[in-house]
Structure 1
């Protein structure tokens, strides 16, 4: 029989074959396409969901290039599906199964696809026959969780949500054709470019990753302007709002949901009693880096509760253990975090002068120098013995164009927070005009909940203390002082500091506006204490649509 789909791309539900391992199930269409596969459990989010959303749900296909017919059956006594494709060139058998235990490469079942084609021939040069096997197609379509798709909803730009850009790292569903379906497949682009070999026995997840990587490489080669055009989307871990163990679980969930990096705060006190936490960032960072594959950053200050030699040692140690995976932003500090040192709180200008000295001291220590310094801060023969081959990047936290421009040529990047677009343009412009050439990072405070009213309540309960003017926040000394000022804050000021919405599409629009300004990395900080609903929702309905 010749498999068929309707005009919208859907197969007849009655024709699907089911593969299972007791934990989950994969549904395979007659044409060789895996159209449904939740991982790791039956009620988990589907990795492929073409069954419910043919245009965008995602699938992995393995089928002949030429017109074909299909015969299929389960291997007797097993849940192994055997499919025989027949074309004018011959026949090939594909077996599909979900392995448990023995396969062992992943902590869940693996969906393995193997094609077996022996003795089939295809004509090559005239008068000579080459054993090349059937021309085969491997296709990987983009993934989208169907429960979050509502084609009727439109963004402010007018495009339907399911018409926005493809998920990050897979900008197209175009198929790539290959030959030799025996022990491996040769991946060949439509223009004839050889892309590489893929073992037939790979798990379906590894196969999908490899295919999407190849596709992206070809597309970027076709469009040079996009080689560095993607914005990294990261997760912000707020030590003021959750216990260290809870935050560790949050970053693991964020990594699984598709966030590409993480950053955290470094506080000794929260901004309010409602936030109620303040774990030690440096202990936590070592564990977070060791238990995820994410790159991490931290915003800190030195010269008060931390001596710059201690800061240099701490940052060098992390960068030595986790090369190229750690950066830190060195700021001038806030009174609430530094008052424990007992030092009279200096003016902003004095703090910025101190910052300049500390930047120089830390740089020299990372370079291996023995440092003596007699200025606003004192150093007596400071030295860092364990240093990474490549020092970690030092970024500059800046909330004004003046600060961004003042230190631009002395740092490896800039980090700031969400603000009106014109204000952010001025900060970016000052950084570049001042000689800044490194990465630009934006931290975005937002509040999401199933209803807009609840999202606004979360923002007020948790983040009203942080919606005060920056110059005031730097001077206040205790959570009680922050709470007293926040009590007078109106909703307009609050929503100027926190993006409040129950609509993922609205968050997509706002984040795209920030990305269009040219930020290299954007870190999302949901200001609520419970991160799991935010991570799940944004992983499904926001991250796939960001540039």
Structure 2
């Protein structure tokens, strides 16, 4: 049965707003939370980017819902040993209700220390080695590792997870699905692509969890035109094609590229307004594609209360039926 969670966007909201949204999500009947991990927002209009691990600590004290990072890059900006410690502490604080979503990252966040930005193939190799390092540390045993990309010298997590800590691997194509099947406990992808989910599950093999996790952003508003304007201002980056999201290094570059995204493109691609059936159908597409968890985020701060009221009273009950 598909579970519906709420997506907390660190790029768009302050830490206090994210905590308030998490409480509202729990009251509205969402059963899980996901949270982004960024150093920069995608553009200046979004205007935020708190340290995700601090926010997760606060979430553990504010709500009772499971939390998943969608997604963390444990390869460049943070060493995998440090990411493992942050993840283990999050798992302990959340009573085992934490999942680590990981991906190969974006230059937007990972270039900040002056490191070279590798090709996808090298980043995938780094991610595989990073997951190996983190899984070793999650055992609570002392480990040393001398690999191609990372060295760990006599490290031990004294605050280790007391329950299994799932690692979910993000990607957007067949190569990423195969990587997720090989090194992860689940596959994260943002489009309701049944073929891609099927390829992941086939690669994972019978008897393995094969969890598929997706996410989508919407803009609930009584004024659909205003909602389109909000999305066009805050999230045109969602519609950039190809590998641009992985290789552009600064919010200014994303703003330049987003000049190619028209208001009409946004209206066609993003669910805007207060048509309940349109919102239900947007999420049902993930159910039909075979997803186990789907996270929905509300774009813009003006209609947050209306969004949660509508999803509590109309959208989530319709999905349950």
| TM bucket normalised to smaller | over 0.9
Partner of 1:383: 156
Deviation, structure 1 residue 518? 1.6
Deviation, structure 1 residue 367? 1.9
Q: Distance in 2 between matches of 1:447 and 1:391?
A: 35
Counting only pairs closer than 5 Å after superposition, residues 190-269 of structure 1 correspond to structure 2 as 230-269=1-40
Deviation, structure 1 residue 497? 4.8
Partner of 1:346: 118
Task: Select the residue among 179, 187, 208 that pairs with 1:414.
Answer: 187
The verdict on how the C-alpha distance between 1:490 and 1:414 changes in structure 2, with shifts beyond 3 A counting, is same
Counting only pairs closer than 5 Å after superposition, residues 531-546 of structure 1 correspond to structure 2 as 531-546=304-319
The verdict on how the C-alpha distance between 1:487 and 1:496 changes in structure 2, with shifts beyond 3 A counting, is same
Q: Which runs of 5+ in 2 are unaligned?
A: none
2:168–2:180 contact (8 Å) kept in structure 1: no
Deviation, structure 1 residue 353? 0.8
- The answer to whether the aligner puts 1:513 opposite 2:285 as a matched pair is yes
The verdict on how the C-alpha distance between 1:281 and 1:497 changes in structure 2, with shifts beyond 3 A counting, is farther
- The answer to whether the aligner puts 1:303 opposite 2:52 as a matched pair is no
Could you say what secondary structure the match of 1:523 adopts? strand
- The answer to whether the aligner puts 1:471 opposite 2:243 as a matched pair is yes
Could you say what secondary structure the match of 1:542 adopts? helix
Q: Distance in 2 between matches of 1:501 and 1:401?
A: 34
Q: Distance in 2 between matches of 1:508 and 1:353?
A: 38
2:170–2:188 contact (8 Å) kept in structure 1: yes
Deviation, structure 1 residue 267? 0.8
Counting only pairs closer than 5 Å after superposition, residues 134-533 of structure 1 correspond to structure 2 as 230-298=1-69, 299-369=71-141, 370-417=143-190, 419=191, 421=192, 424-435=193-204, 437-491=209-263, 493-495=265-267, 497-530=269-302, 531-533=304-306
Structure having the larger proportion of residues in helix: 2
1:372–1:382 contact (8 Å) kept in structure 2: no
Deviation, structure 1 residue 492? 5.2
Counting only pairs closer than 5 Å after superposition, residues 79-94 of structure 1 correspond to structure 2 as none
Could you say what secondary structure the match of 1:500 adopts? coil
Deviation, structure 1 residue 343? 0.5
Residues 399-458 of structure 1, C-alpha deviation per residue, up to 9 Å, x if partnerless? 1122012231321111111x3x5xx11220121111163321111111221122112111
Q: Distance in 2 between matches of 1:363 and 1:495?
A: 42
Deviation, structure 1 residue 470? 4.6
Q: Distance in 2 between matches of 1:357 and 1:493?
A: 39
Name whichever of 400-409 and 266-275 sits farther off.
400-409
C-alpha RMSD of matched pairs (Å): 1.6
1:364–1:371 contact (8 Å) kept in structure 2: no
Q: Distance in 2 between matches of 1:328 and 1:524?
A: 18
Q: Distance in 1 between matches of 2:268 and 2:42?
A: 18
Q: Which has the larger radius of gyration?
A: 1
Partner of 1:9: none
| TM-score between the two structures when normalised by the length of structure 2 | 0.93
Count of residue pairs the alignment pairs up? 314
